[in-house]
Structure 1
């Protein structure tokens, strides 16, 4: 009997897994190039969002991106809490939509802290009052601005906060089987760690992202680069020949000490940019101001002719 049992267990372990359905009408995941571009953009947004919450909500914040995925709206809805804060962002003139999601207790904590209170304890989960939503909306308007800036031209400039919902099933920005790009974040707010997410319709976002990444980068114009270099301010220094000293000699310096420098009286001074000597000059005057008269150029002949 023991042998039969052993054989049955082995057979069950060796049996292949049940086949999974694959929808050839939708991509399995984001391409590697799109994933890198979106991860970098959301990472930049996470840093800006953390700084905003630290300053506006007076709450030490650290936000990191966990992952960026491509999934249907139904799949996204199944992963968020039943009751949560969903900030709906829309643009009446286009198909741009967005959801910024985080716990209701976190939203209430931000509001209490913006009003000068202390929300150290866990707050009850409830709907926001009109005044509370107005305060949260002003905060999320700035957050949405950070999101638009981080994603570049992937989001409409007219995308704005329009409403708040507490159940993802009622905050439907696309149909149930339409794809959305979902970015999930870990938010460390003081001593607490919360989860947050952002969902964006994939159709418009990926089309713009493809156009952006497929556009060849324009070759730099040599004349433009040269003009930028030539117009960059540099610090020009007129200096004597340097002398080396030991640290103990420097520490023993006192008022009235005389230091001899290895610079002859008839030798011109060095005219330098940083550590590079570019010319020799003699001390002169220009009205009531000190000046220098360039006596020779230390630039290579080819470079001097090129910059003339």
Structure 2
């Protein structure tokens, strides 16, 4: 027979806060400091790219960075449409390449505006002609200059256009398990809006940001894990040991019956966590509530 569970009131409990699921299959995540630095860099690039589009296609344009995350290249490629424009960007000294991705429809719209036309949407989803590729490459050359300006010392060298691909499943910018920093962008020109992404190899960026990487200090990992786990709420219960009775005792229970539990009056109760005894305590009152005062700790308790 168990006494009522002792559940301490935690600050902020019951507020219905959203819980983010942690994926143990991919334990590497962006440190908060790194995340903010990268968000500022991508936001600067988005503003610069919006100004660049406005100047080149002579139409009011705006680019907004909406989300920054770190995923493997395989996950990134799988999230893209099968048919899309992927501009691979090469940085000297790096094997993995960066990617600027946007719908081919968007690029054809920009090209038509650059040539003085009035595009009619929806435009066909197709590969670019040689002339169109040259115009897109010119746009991307200017965009990569803005990217280098926005990231500053985070980019070890100036990125250059390596090529343009039109199938996200065949454009191998990096190995499948390479970690990429990916920013989701929203590109708006007049009344038209397209989703775009920018992906950069994470290793070089995190290296440039110093030793705050979550993987850089292995010795601190146990302490960080313990500190995180110590803030997780758990349920404990104060109880006496079980006692064996015959079924007829339970079947014939009535109000007012007394069930002998064979627990000495001065014997402490067991404080258990998930069924495991961690301490012993005596019942006390704390204001208007019942509580347990610890009198000993089990040797096997963590």
Taking structure 1 as the reference length, the TM-score comes to: 0.59
Q: How much has 1:47 moved relative to structure 2?
A: 0.6
- Structure 1's 76 and 94: CA in aligned 2 closer, same or farther, altered over 3 A? closer
Q: How far apart in 2 are the matches of 1:56 and 1:20?
A: 43
Q: How much has 1:126 moved relative to structure 2?
A: 0.6
Q: 1:223 maps to what in 2?
A: none
**Does the 8 A contact of 2:96 with 2:173 survive in 1?**
no
Q: How far apart in 1 are the matches of 2:191 and 2:128?
A: 24
Q: How much has 1:178 moved relative to structure 2?
A: 1.6
Q: How much has 1:211 moved relative to structure 2?
A: 5.7
Q: How much has 1:59 moved relative to structure 2?
A: 2.2
Deviations 1:27-76 (A, max 9, x none): 1x211101100001110111110011011011211111110000111111
Q: How far apart in 1 are the matches of 2:212 and 2:70?
A: 19
- My pick for the range that moved more, 134-143 or 186-195, is 186-195
Matched residues, number: 193
**Does the 8 A contact of 1:85 with 1:166 survive in 2?**
yes
Structure 1 segments of 4+ aligned residues over 6 angstroms from their partners: none
Residue pairs, 1:6-155, within 5 angstroms: 22-23=24-25, 26-27=27-28, 29-95=29-95, 97-155=97-155
**Does the 8 A contact of 1:42 with 1:65 survive in 2?**
yes
Q: How far apart in 2 are the matches of 1:137 and 1:212?
A: 36
For the pair shown, the structure with the greater C-alpha radius of gyration is 1
CA-based RMSD: 2.1
**Does the 8 A contact of 1:96 with 1:156 survive in 2?**
no
Q: What is the SS of the residue equivalent to 1:22?
A: coil
Taking structure 2 as the reference length, the TM-score comes to: 0.60
Residue pairs, 1:229-268, within 5 angstroms: none
Q: How far apart in 2 are the matches of 1:135 and 1:141?
A: 10
Q: What is the SS of the residue equivalent to 2:206?
A: helix
